[in-house]
Structure 1
Amino acid sequence: MNDLQRLKEMGITVWDVRRPECYPGVSPQPVSLPDDCKLLLVCESKPTEQEAWLFSKVLASMKLSVEQALYLPPQAVNLLGEHQLEWCWFAGSQEAEIEGVKRLISPSLSALDNDQLAKKQLWQQIKQYES
């Protein structure tokens, strides 16, 4: 079994070589998303249980389910391959341009949880796309 198969079995589908100069033959693989993925959450770390609860509430307000959303670390955004995304939410991470996708920008989910003004601003961003 090779290293890529081991990573996949461990559930690690997105990875980055920290020192690419040590691996001249390794080129980054494009990140492929399932066709039913409509929202991409871009943040530094996978949401905790409390953050996931908040995330699911925001998704529900957008008429999306948790199954239609995926998490991606910021360093993997530039590896994004073909997709059917409608939304990209940058939560506490540097934003990137993804053509044809509605973009949301907010503080991290943990900061958002305790900041009513930031929640209001996020809601206003979501609503602006509805008009």
Structure 2
Amino acid sequence: MKHQQAVFLQEMGITHWQVRKPTLFKTEEMLKQLNLSVCKLLVVCTEADKSHELMPAILNAFNINADSVVYCSLAQFESQQGTLPDLIWSTIGEIEASGTHQLLHSPSLATLAVNGNAKKVLWKQFCAYQQ
């Protein structure tokens, strides 16, 4: 279930079903709820992007401590319930979230590393968020 759908159901007083024995379902374990209590930036990306050498440089440019960043897959993002951080960055394409969040989009970090124009676009998106 997408985050936006879960929020609508929650607003109507309809609770999301919980699996009693999640260990029986491998996908349920992969989609467990993330701890976003101290998160300033949620990054929706692949494992390759998470470990790419450019990631720490971008976080440093954004002036965001690595401890306040949470990484997740698209499936994890779509299954998230509850409050999301104000800043969400996707390296895997367009994602949907409520209008109260600032969404940054970029190509994968491997593409971003060799494309100066894509870096400028990402930086402009971030600067627009800061204003």
How far 1:43 moved relative to its partner? Answer: 1.7
1:25 — aligned with what? none
**CA contact 1:32–1:81 (8 Å) conserved in 2:** no
Partner amino acid, structure 1, of 2:115: D
Gaps of 5+ in 2: 1-20
Measured in 2, the distance between the counterparts of 1:40 and 1:73 equals 10
Give 3-state SS (helix, strand or coil) of 1:47's partner: helix
How far 1:38 moved relative to its partner? Answer: 1.2
How far 1:86 moved relative to its partner? Answer: 2.2
How far 1:113 moved relative to its partner? Answer: 1.1
1:66 — aligned with what? 66
Q: Does 1:87 align with 2:87?
A: yes
How far 1:33 moved relative to its partner? Answer: 2.0
How far 1:124 moved relative to its partner? Answer: 0.5
How far 1:3 moved relative to its partner? Answer: 6.8
> Identity percentage over the alignment?
21
Please give the root-mean-square deviation of Cα atoms over the aligned residues, in Å.
2.7
Gaps of 5+ in 1: 17-28
How far 1:93 moved relative to its partner? Answer: 3.1
Q: Does 1:38 align with 2:40?
A: yes
Give 3-state SS (helix, strand or coil) of 2:93's partner: coil
User: Where do residues 1-131 of structure 1 align in structure 2 (5 Å cutoff)?
Assistant: 4=23, 15=30, 31-47=33-49, 49=51, 51=52, 53-83=53-83, 85-131=85-131
Measured in 1, the distance between the counterparts of 2:92 and 2:108 equals 4
Number of equivalent positions: 110
TM-score, with length taken from structure 2: 0.69
How far 1:120 moved relative to its partner? Answer: 0.5
**CA contact 2:88–2:103 (8 Å) conserved in 1:** yes
Q: 1:48 to 1:75 in 2, by over 3 A?
A: closer
Measured in 2, the distance between the counterparts of 1:37 and 1:13 equals 22
